[in-house]
Structure 1
C-alpha cells in the first residue's frame, strides 16, 4: 500500500511541476535544450529532459536588492550559462523595441548592476557577452561600446556614430527589408568584434510633419532611400580590442551598389559574408580574413528574378543564411533555383555542391541537429495553406514527415539551439492554437501530460477552405468565412481580404479570419481570402517569382479573375462586392477598385503604396527592378495610374506619421482623385505609424470607421 501511495505521490508531483510551466513564454538557452521562464518574477531554468526539476537561478529579491527596476523583457546568457543580462525599459526603434536598459547578474552570487552608466537611459542595443566572459559589448547612439565586467570600465570603440553614420546596427531600410537589426558579432575568442557600418550620408530624408504635439509644427526626418535611389554605403569592420584598430573587409564590388545582409564568424580569424548586388539577383558568399581583410569567393548564385538569402515571410531577424556542417568543412544553403526551395550542402572551398532535400516540393530550412545529422524543414506537399515539419538525414538524404498526422493544419516550431527539442504549435480552421513541448526524435510529447486538447475556436462564424480556377488556368487557394445561419438559397454580400505581395499569405489554414471582416460576417457577409501568384506559399519557384516586374499586374489580375469565378456562385450578391487590404494589400485593393470597377463596388484601402516610385529601394527594386530599367512596369503597377477609373465607393485611411508607407502616397492619390472629380471617403490619423494603433482610442475608432462605411455602402444580410 505504501508503494502504491509513493508512486501516486511521485506522479502527482510530476504533474504539478509540469503544469506550472508556462511554455507559451518559453525561451531557449544557447547551445542547449534548457529553457528559462519567468515564474512570478523569478527566473527558472528547466532541462527539457527533466521537466520535473527546475532551478531558480535568479530571484526577484536578488534583482530588487541590486536596484533592478522594470520588467524582465529578455535574458542574454553567457556561454557557460553562469551569467545573464536582463533587458528592460525598452523603447521602439522602427518596428521593434530594440533599445533599452541592460542589467548584469552573476548567477552564483545573485548580485548585479546596471550596464552603461553615464550613457542615456534606454539607449543600449544588442548587448552580449564575449565568449571569454570578460566583457560585454553593446551599441548606444550608433556607436559600439565594450564594458569590462571586472573593472566596470566602459570603452567606446567607434567614435564617428551619428544619425547618418550607423555602427553596430542598421538604418530603416536594412531592418525593414533585409531583417537586419543586430549589427555586430563577437569573435569566438573574445579578442575582436566584427560590425556593420552604414554610411547614409548621401541618403535623403523623407520629411514627416508633426502638427499636434507642440504650438508650432516640426519636421520628423526619416532616412529613407526610395526606389531608384542608390543604397547607403555599407561595409564590415573588425575591431581588435587590444589595439582598438579596425580592419575593413575588402569585399569586391561597389559598396554603394551592393548589400551585405548577413555575416558570421566561422573561426577566430575567419568570417563568412553574404553579399547581394543592387538588383538582388546575384548572391555571393565570401570567406574573409579578419586580420588582413582579404576575401575569397566561396559560392555564387544567380537568378532571373531575385535570390532569397532568408525566408522573407518568417519574421526572423538576423538569422545567418548558412549552417556549418561536417565539422566546419561544409555549409547548408537554401535555394529555389531548381524550381523548388531545397537545401544544398556546399563545401567551404566551393568546389562541391550537393542537393540534400530532393523531393518535388518546397523545403524551407528551419533547424539542424548536428548529433543526429538531421535537417528540419517546413513543407506542405499537397496543401499550400498548411505547414508541416519534415526531416532529412544529411548522409542518407532520406526525407520523412515529422509532424504526426493528427496535427492537421498549420504547424509552427520554436527549436532548441541543439535541434533536439521544440515548442510545437498547431491549429487549423476548425480548432484553436494548441501548444506542446516535444522531443523531435519521434515527435514525442513531453509536456503537458495527457492527451492533446483540441479546442474548437470561439467565434461567431464558420470557416472553410476552397480552390478556384481562373480563366487563365491559375488555381488559387481560398479561405471562406460564413455566418452561422448561412442559407445557400439566398444571396450574400461578399467581402474580399487581400494582400497579394511576396511578403505574406492570407489563405492560411488557421482558426481566425481578418479581424475587421470577421466582425461583419455574423451580420450577413461572406468573407474570402485568396493567395494569388507571387505570394510566398509552397507552390514552387515559378508561382512565387512570376511576379517579378509584375507587382500590381499579375497579382491584381489573379485576384480579379478569381473573384469573377466566385461571383458565379449562387449565394453571392454581385451588386455587393467589397475588398480590403493594408499596406501592399492596400495597393492591391486600389488596383482592384480602379482596374476592375465592374467587379468591386466598395473598398477600404489602408496605408497603401499608391505609386511604386515612392516605396523603398530594397523591396521595390528586388521585385520590380530599377525604375530606370522598368519605367513602364512601375507605371502599370501603380494604383494612381488608374485612379481616374473609380466608379464605386472608396474609403482611404492613412497615418501621417507612417515611416514605412509615407503619407505622401495618400496626398498624391487624393490629388489624382480630385483631378478627375471622383468622390471618396477619407480618414487621416495624425502622427500614427504604419500600424495606426498609437494613441488612446485609435484602434477602436479605426474599427468603427471601417465597419460604419461597409454597413452603409455594402449593406449586410441575405436576400
Structure 2
C-alpha cells in the first residue's frame, strides 16, 4: 500500500510538472507552433456575396448533411435569419457521390443560377484554371461547362447579362455556351502557345494585374477581348531535376528588361460567332501596353487605357466596336511613371466617369466628362486617396479608403459624386488601425474587416453611413486568447528623422524582458521598393509571430518604410525613387539605422542584421554590400541581383529603358557591389522561381566567388518565388533563417 501511495504521489507530481510546463510553454513561441500546426490560424468568413440590393448576403458554411462539403447559406442582412439556399446535396454530379468543392462561386444577374468554380489549377501565382458547373436553382439541374474540353482547362467563366449564356476561355481560345441546350460556340480559333486570347502572358499578369481578358457587352450580344501575340518573346528555361529520372525543361515566355514584349490588341466579336473587329489603337503594339479595357455604358463602345512603354504617358481612348475607330479623350503624363487606373466608373448615362490622378501632387478622385473637356476635383486636400471601394450612383456618393494623418493606417471616407458637400470620415476615429470594406449595392450595408498590428482581424456586418454594427461575423476570440497568453511585447510605431526634412515611419518589437539600460541585437526587416509597404498597422499573422519569437530569443526587430514605397504620402514621396532603385532606398534605410543607433542607446551597433524577400532580398544585398560597416549579418531570399535580369514592365516603369539609362541600372544592381561584402550572408532561392529567376543568384555566386567572398547558400529545388511547395518546406525555410541568425548574430542583451 505504501508503494502504491508513493507511486500515486509521484504520478500526481509528474502530472503537475507536465501541466506547469504546458502552461509555461503556452507563453513561448516555437517554429513548430508557427509552421507545423494550425494553432495560430484565425477564423475566416466567406467568400460572401451581397444579393437583393444588399438586403441579403450569401456565404459558405460546412454542410451538416454531406461530409467534407459546403452549403451556400443565405442570411437576411438586418435580422440574421438563416436559410440554406444551396445544399451541398445539390452539388453532387450525377453518378458521383462527392459534392463539388467550391473554390469560388458567382450568382447569375437574376440569381436563378449559380456558377461554381472547382478542381482548380495554378497559373503562375493564382489558381485561375479549373472546372465550371452551373446549377439551375429552379430545376436543381447541375451542368458541367466546356463539353469535351480538357479537365481543369476553363478560365474566367461568367454569365451574360441576360442570364442566357456563359463565356469562358480554354487553351487560349474564347467560347460561349448556351445554358438552355448546352450548345457551345467557339469564338476564336487561333489560340496557341503564342497567340493568347481572353487571358494574358506572364508579364501582363504579374505587373499589370491582368488575368481575366474578356468582357460581355451590356446587351449580351458581343464580347470584347484582349489578344496577345507572344511570338517575339523569348522563353526563359526552368530546369526540373527532381520530378523524373531525367531532368526536363519548363519554358516561360518572359520579356527581360529591354527585350521584345508581346504585341497586344483588343477586338470585339459577336457572341454568335463571326469575324472580330479589331480596334485601331495607334502605336507599336509591342512597345505600348493596353493595360485596361471595358465597355462604357453603351454596347456600341469600349474604352481602353494605353500606356507607352516608358509608362510615363497614359491615354484613355473610346473605341467604336463596329468600325474600330479610336479617339483619345484623356491623357495623363508624369516625369516618372503613371499608375494604371482601376477606379474608372461610368455614370450619368455614360456622360461622365470617375478618375484617379496625381496631377496636383496627390492621388485624388476626379469626375471627367465623356469628351475629357471637363475634369472636376472631388477630393481636395493634401492627402492621398488609396482606393475607391464603391460608387453609389443612385444616391450620389463615392466611398474610398484614405489615411490623411497616418500613412500606416486605413479608413473609410465618402464624398458626393457631384463635388458638393464635405468629405465625411465614416470609420470611427477611435478605431485606429487598418479597415477594409465590402459594400453592398445601394451602400446601406457593408462587411467590415478591422485589425491592428497587435490585434487579429474582426469582421462585422455594419450599416452605412452610421457604421453601426449589426452583428459580428468573426471575432477571432480563440486566436486572441492564444496570442493574449504569449509572453510578448506589442509592436510599437515610431518616426525617425534621417535629415534633409525626410521623416520615415517605422515599427519596433522589443524582447518581453526588455531592459533599456542594456544593449540588444537588431534585425531589420526590409522590402523598400514601390510595390509594397512593410510599416502598416495591421495584423500580419505568422510573420508577426515569427518576429515575436525572435524577440523572445533576445532580438529587437525593426522595420522602416523608405521613400519610394507606396505609402499615402504624396507623389513626390513615392516617385522620388525613379531611376534610383537600389540607391535611394538603401541610402534611406542606412540613414535610418544610423539615426536609430544614435537615438536609442539600447541598440548594439555591433550586432545589426537585415533580411528580406524578393525586393527585400535585393535590399538586403544592397545594404550588406554598400554599408558593410553597419550591417553584420544578412539573409536574402529570392533577390533580384541585377536589375537587367527582371521583367520589362516592372523595371522599365521605375528605371527607364536600359539603352538610355545604363548607368542607373548599373548603380541600382547589387551584383556590382558584391566585392564589398564583409559580414555574414545567407542567400536563399527556389530553383523553379518563374518570377525572380534563380539565374540572379547564380550570377551573384560567380561574383562573390571571383572576389573570394564567403557566404552561405540554400537552394530549394523546383520551388517558386513563394518557396512553399512540398511537404515541410515552410518549416524548413524558417528554421534555416532562425538558425542562421542565432549562429551569426548573437542573441540577448549585453
**What TM-score, normalized to structure 1?**
0.93
Partner of 2:683: 652
1:492 equivalent among 520, 524, 530: 520
Q: Distance in 1 between matches of 2:476 and 2:171?
A: 48
Supply the distance in 2 between the matched residues of 1:56 and 1:510 (Cα, whole angstroms).
Answer: 34
Structure 2 vs 1, CA of residues 425 and 242 (structure 1 numbering), >3 Å: closer, same or farther?
closer
Q: Which residue of 2 aligns with 1:444?
A: 468
Match of 2:266 among 236, 244, 264: 236
Pair 1:151–1:504, CA change in 2 (3 A): same
**Is the partner of 2:438 in helix, strand or coil?**
strand
Quote the residue 1:367 is aligned against.
390
Distance 2:473 2:237 in 1: 56
Distance 1:42 1:543, change over 3 A: same
- TM-superposed CA distance for 1:544, in Å, is 0.4
- Residue 406 of structure 2 corresponds to 383
| CA pair 234-676 structure 1, distance change in 2 beyond 3 A | same
Contact kept in structure 2, 1:23 and 1:423, CA below 8 Å: no
The CA distance in 2 between the partners of 1:541 and 1:94, in whole Å, is 31
Name the counterpart of 2:335: 304
Q: Distance in 2 between matches of 1:132 and 1:250?
A: 29
**Corresponding residue for 1:245?**
275
Deviations 1:14-69 (A, max 9, x none): xxxxxxxx972142247832421113222122343x34334433211122254574
Aligned counterpart, 1:122: 152
- Alignment check: 8 A CA contact 1:495 1:517 kept: no
1:475 corresponds in structure 2 to 503
| 1:129-528 to 2 correspondences below 5 Å | 129-266=159-296, 267-310=298-341, 320-364=342-386, 365-395=388-418, 396-448=420-472, 457-458=483-484, 459-462=486-489, 463-512=491-540, 514=544, 516-528=546-558
In structure 2, C-alpha distance between the alignment counterparts of 1:157 and 1:121, rounded to whole Å:
20
2:102 is matched with which residue? 72
Give 1:9's aligned residue. Answer: none
SS of corresponding position for 2:349: helix
Distance of 2:82 and 2:277 partners within structure 1: 45
Cα distance change, pair 644–166 in 1 and its aligned pair in 2 (3 A) = same
Q: In the alignment, does 2:67 pair up with 1:46?
A: no
Residues 313-332 of structure 1: CA deviation (Å, up to 9, x unaligned)? xxxxxxx4411122321001
- 2:724 corresponding residue in structure 1: 693
User: What is the CA distance between 1:417 and its match in structure 2?
Assistant: 4.4
1:590 paired with 2:621, answer: yes
Distance in 2 between the 1:159 and 1:307 partners? 35
Q: How far is the alpha carbon of 1:406 from its aligned partner?
A: 2.6
1:97 corresponds in structure 2 to 127
Are the counterparts in 2 of residues 460 and 483 from structure 1 also a CA contact under 8 Å?
no
Q: Given the superposition, is the C-alpha separation of residues 515 and 305 from structure 1 closer, same or farther in structure 2, using an over 3 Å criterion? A: farther
Compute the RMSD of aligned alpha carbons.
Answer: 1.9
Q: Structure 1, residues 82-141: CA drift from partner, whole Å, max 9, x if none?
A: 111111011100000000011111111211121112111111100011112221111111
Query: 1:557 offset after TM fit, Å?
Result: 0.3
Segments of 5+ residues of structure 1 without an aligned counterpart are: 1-21, 311-319
Deviations 1:586-642 (A, max 9, x none): 000000000000000000000000000000000000000111111100000000010
SS in structure 2 of the partner of residue 52 of structure 1: coil
Partner secondary structure for residue 188 of structure 1: coil
Query: Which shifted more, 539-548 or 364-373?
Result: 364-373
**Matched position secondary structure for 1:461:** coil
2:24 corresponding residue in structure 1: none
Question: If the length of structure 2 is used for normalisation, what is the TM-score?
Answer: 0.89
Describe the SS at the equivalent of 1:24. Answer: coil
Q: Which residue of 1 aligns with 2:584?
A: 554
Unmatched 5+ stretches in structure 2: 1-42, 64-69
Give the drift of 1:520. Answer: 1.2
Tell me if structure 2 keeps the 8 A contact 1:357–1:397. Answer: no
Shift of 1:472: 3.5
Aligned residue pairs, count: 688
Change (3 A) 1:160 1:443: same
Residue 418 to residue 262, structure 1, CA distance change in 2 (3 Å): farther
